[in-house]
Amino acid sequence: MFDANEIARLIEAKLPCEFILVEGDDGVHFSAIIVSAEFKGLSRVQQHQRVYATLGTLLNNEIHALQLQTHTPEKWATIHTGLEQ
């Protein structure tokens, strides 16, 4: 069983993140919002693969599900600008 904070720490150790939020309270199912400049120029699938690579074999073993929302810093800024208006 994993803690959401531990998953965030593992991701941040291998992927520079401007923002990360991982949630999940049952120890095996999680959701995450990750903002990284590393995602620039990558498709959504490639962005998710980049995140999955940071967790390696933990996925589908200790971590059964990880729902992702991935954004570049530029996209994240437009999302937040839209929310503030």
- What digits encode the pLDDT tens for the residues 1-36? 789 999 999 999 999 999 999 999 898 999 999 999
With a cut of 60, say whether residue 85 has pLDDT above it. no
CA dihedral 12, 84, 81, 77 (to 10 degrees): -10
Number of H helices, E strands in the chain: 3, 3
The whole-chain average pLDDT of the chain stands at 92
CA angle, corner 54, sides to 49 and 60, nearest 5?
A: 75
Report d(CA 22, CA 56) in Å as an integer: 17
Domain ranges for the chain: 4-84
Q: What superfamily in CATH does domain 4-84 come from?
A: BolA-like (3.30.300.90)
